[in-house]
Amino acid sequence: MNKFKLGIIGTGLISAGSHLPAALGLPDIEVNALVDPVRDRSTSLARKYGISPQIVQDVREVLGMLDGVIIATPNSTHCEIALACIEAGVHVLIEKPLANTVDEGNAIMENATRKGVVVATGFCTRFRSNVLLLKELLDDEYFGRIQRFAHQFGTAGGWAPLSAYNLSKQEAGGGVLVVSGSHFLDRMLYFWGFPVSASLTHDGFNGPEANCTAHFQFAGFQGIARYSKTTNLRTGLNVETDRGFIVLGDSDESQIKFIPQHRSGVCDTISLSGKKKQQADVFQLQIMDFVAACRNRTLPRVDVQQGVNSLRLVEMLYANSSVTLENWYE
Amino acid sequence: MNEESVLKKIAIIGASGFVGTHFYELIHGSGRDEAIPVIHSSGSAWRLIRGGAPLVSANLLSKEEIAKAIKGCTHVVNCSRGDDQVMLKGLENLLEVCADSKIQGLVHLSSVMVYGDPPSANSITEEGTSQPHLSEYGMLKFKQDEIVAKAAKNVPSVILCPPNITGPYSPYLTGLVNAIQNEEFALMGDGSAPCVVVDVDNLCHAIYQALDYCSSSPQRLFITDDELSTWSMIIEPLMELAGVSELNSITEAELRVLRDNLNRPVKSSFFQSLKHLVSSDVRKAIRKDPMLAKIDIMARKSVSLVGYRVEDKLRSSIAGHPPVPKLPQDTPLNVGLTAQQLRGVRHTCEKAKNTIGYVPTRSFKQSMDAFSRWYRRHNGLDSDYWPLLKMLWNV
């Protein structure tokens, strides 16, 4: 089988640290192009990994020689770049979020359908073995019926993309909800589908919010998701059921824990047995899934429709949001 | 704020830090002077950007970037932190550019740590003895003070020395809550030892006041709360936030021993180094290299020639006895943090009050209450979901 010819668009932190090394570790893929308006970034990245791809500043120069691309550029540029690739018949794996708006997401979906091109959304945490296992167990009501849930993720600072696009609401499509929260929003949709209602409180009084709390109502249960870029929070998901609490940390390696009701001090750890429990690199699994979908013309694990659903939820949250101002001294 | 002072355009270097952000919010909120928040990395600038602050990015190791960032400014406040190179060479660059840009005044944020940890007993006032050699951070801050003083003929300056800083977003108080929660902190005696702190709002007020008193012979000023606070006064409200009802205690004598052990330099020892060299981990790593693996095999063969009894004796004399299982230990104390209770000296802010008109408007209680409100909201303590969130701490 011919090697899959991959291009990486955007050679900032996420490509340098995750997408490129993941792709280079896969035997049936060759990275043929690095694309970035700042040429030096691509050059130094190629040198760092000892590869000799085409280095260009505009993807249009190399589209004819590629089977697929990973788009890892500022969020506001995803749509335009994706549409150019789709028009040329090149498959796209778009780093999360799919785009900045539902309209942009729909444009990507419609054009991809018309051209028969695969579009995958880069929600890499969907490739965690603990997430897949939790979904199975939740579906089976293995831990009982869900009553409510809480998820939180918070770091004081951190993640500083080279372009600093994350600090611009226009470029990122939102604040901490999009930058830190969108991974869980995607997982939440995967676990339970679209909520009946959702609302948001945040502190972005004149710019992207640094702290927010989202409230969700599902049929029969409710929950919250809290995100912070100013406070280190103990991260993870806690789902309360009629039998106890399911706790899962927010990392690839976290194990599912179950604390039965009225049994404080008891904690069961649920994990996969044998080879299944080995967690491969999620970025590598994501690329493998994308390439398989391109070759077999099947849907990737997180397809374009799921990417659009995630955008719908973000828009719904911002539409039902209120700002909480700070006055700590009172 | 001094109503009579003329309008200023103030570049805040290190604006994304705890003090820098608060100072920006204060200046921007007053609507009188103009503040330019200068940051290095976008990672920690979220608190600034949510209010739409017009961020300017500059690396202190680049004079060009500094010049661009402070262009048109009348004053500079230096709250920056970083590695040694940024703190020293970066500061020299900043002062050079300030001189070229005819900056009218620079307020440099130093620390009471230049008086040592523990501080000299006579450092109640600024004229006390500096002992920067007692801590790495103190030494760095002392060197910075010297750089600022040397450049002051071209860049009129003031050097402010705050102690640990309280108030909303305080990393110091957050660290204490975590230490209490993790049982890494113990209260010394009855907690009556003085704990010198300053509220972040008070400190920022002092920074603003100091802008009008920059001189070619920069003064070093203590900026502290004008109240006698004790460790128990700090710790008690934090225990509530940490969800802890009882605290470990330690005597002054015990804490002195622990601190002295912590500060004792590790002596180099031939046998200790040999022990590390013959450890299985080191040899395993060495054997990955083909040439070193050959040397290791040769060494191994040579030793085996002497017989297993001698070999065992040799091994135990170098590596010591094999480890035996131990009972689970309590969480080790954070000695550095706990030993702050031995500082004992109450630095007074009288000089700052008299020279720059510093008035600490926030009381200690207001400061702790403000921190508490911030901590509770940001960590979800008052949320209906707190029982679920709390479990994320424990599991």
pLDDT at B135: 86
Q: Which tens digit of pLDDT belongs to each residue from A113-145?
A: 999 999 999 999 999 999 999 999 999 999 999
Reading phi first (left if > 0) and then psi (alpha if -120 to 50, else beta), residue A148 is in: beta
Residues of B in contact with A223 (CB under 8 A): 385
Among the partner residues A166, A230, A267, nearest to B47 by beta-carbon distance = A230
Q: Chain A contact for B266, CB < 8 A?
A: no
**What is the pLDDT confidence band of residue B6, given thresholds at 50, 70 and 90?**
low
What lies within 8 Å, CB to CB, of B272 at 6+ separation is none
**Which domains are assigned to chain B?**
9-173+195-229+343-394 (3.40.50.720)
Nearest to B49 among A152, A207, A213 (CB): A207
Domain boundaries, chain A: 4-123+282-302, 126-278+313-323
Lowest mean pLDDT among A44-58, A187-201, A262-276, B68-82: A262-276
**May I ask the CATH class of domain A126-278+313-323?**
alpha beta
pTM value is: 0.89
Q: CB distance from B389 to chain A under 8 Å?
A: yes
Chain B residue closest in CA terms to A324: B377
Q: Do B46 and A206 touch (CB under 8 A)?
A: no
B150 vs A: CB within 8 A: no
Q: Which of A213, A229, A328 sits opposite B46 (nearest CB)?
A: A229
Amino acid type, B375: Y
pLDDT of residue A168: 76
B370 has a chain A CB within 8 A of its CB: yes
Percentage of residues in chain A having pLDDT higher than 90: 86
The interface predicted TM-score of the complex, written ipTM, equals 0.92
For residue A165, give every residue at least 6 positions away whose Cβ sits within 8 Å of its Cβ, in sequence order, or none.
A74, A75, A76, A171, A172
Q: Can you give the pLDDT at residue B290?
A: 80
* Out of A61-75, A269-283, B205-219, least confident range: A269-283
Sorting pLDDT into bands at 50, 70 and 90, what band is B240? very high
Query: Which among B47, B380, B388 is the nearest to A240, CB-wise?
Result: B388
In whole angstroms, what is the distance from residue A208 CA to residue A318 CA? 11
Tell whether A144 is within 8 A of chain B (Cβ): no
Q: A50-90: per-residue pLDDT in tens?
A: 999 999 999 999 999 999 999 999 999 999 999 999 999 99
The pLDDT value recorded for residue B298 is 80
* CATH of range A4-123+282-302; options 3.30.1360.70, 3.10.620.30, 1.20.1260.10, 3.40.50.720: 3.40.50.720
pLDDT at A183: 97
The Cα of A258 is separated from the nearest Cα of chain B by a number of Å equal to 10
**Distance between CA atoms of residues B84 and B90, nearest Å:** 9
Mean pLDDT value across residues A270-298: 87
Cβ <8 Å between A157 and B46: yes
* Mean pLDDT, residues A242-259 taken together: 95
How close B18 comes to chain A (CA, Å)?
10
Backbone angles phi, psi at B19, to 5 degrees: -75, -45
Give the confidence band of B86 by pLDDT, cuts at 50, 70, 90: very high
Contacts of A231 in chain B (CB under 8 A): 378-379
Neighbours of A130 (CB within 10 A): 22
Q: Are strands A233-241 and A244-248 parallel, antiparallel or unpaired?
A: antiparallel
Q: How far is CA B245 from the centre of its chain?
A: 28
Predicted confidence at residue A173, as pLDDT, reads 78
Q: Do B50 and A203 touch (CB under 8 A)?
A: yes
Min CA distance, A238 vs chain B (Å)?
A: 6
What's the rounded mean pLDDT across residues A176-205? 96
**Whole-number average pLDDT of chain A:** 94
Residue A274 pLDDT: 66
**B370, A157: Cβ pair inside 8 Å?**
no
Fold agreement between A4-123+282-302 and A126-278+313-323: no
Task: Tell me: pLDDT of B185 over 60.
Answer: yes
Nearest in space to B115 (alpha carbons), one of B79, B145, B82: B145
Report the candidate in A24, A282, A256, A1 with the shortest Cα–Cα distance to residue A130. Answer: A256
Are A150 and B49 inside 8 Å of each other by CB?
no
pLDDT of residue B312: 72
Averaged pLDDT, B33-59: 91
Nearest to residue A28, comparing CAs of A296, A303, A292, A300?
A: A292
- Structure confidence at residue B331 as a pLDDT band (50, 70, 90): low
pLDDT at B116 over 60: yes
Cα B32 from Cα B114, distance rounded (Å): 34
Question: Which band of pLDDT confidence, cut at 50, 70 and 90, is reported for residue A276?
Answer: low
Evaluate if residue A232 carries a pLDDT over 90: yes
Say whether pLDDT at A162 is over 70.
no
Query: Is the omega angle on the peptide bond into residue A97 within 30 degrees of 0, that is, cis?
Result: yes
Spell out the SS3 assignment of B158-174. EEEECCEEECCCCHHHH
* A245 in contact with chain B, both atoms CB, cutoff 8 A: yes
A198-207, B280-289, B332-341, range with the lowest pLDDT: B280-289
> pLDDT at position B156, please?
97
Average pLDDT estimate for B310-322: 71
pLDDT in tens, B20-35: 999 999 999 998 999 9
Q: Is the pLDDT of residue B1 over 60?
A: no
Residue pair B216/B153 in contact by the 8 Å Cβ criterion: yes
Please indicate whether, in this complex, the C-beta atoms of A329 and B370 are within 8 angstroms of each other.
Answer: yes
Residue B142 has pLDDT above 60, yes or no: yes
Coil, strand or helix: which one is B217? coil
Query: In chain B, whose CA is at the least distance from the CA of A226?
Result: B380
| Residue B343: closest CA among B174, B173, B127, B124 | B124
pLDDT tens sequence across A4-51: 999 999 999 999 999 999 999 999 999 999 999 999 999 999 999 999
Q: H helices of A235-303, where?
A: 282-296
* Res B308: pLDDT: 73
Write down the pLDDT at residue B340.
95
Least trusted range by pLDDT, from A83-92, B238-247, B281-290, B382-391: B281-290
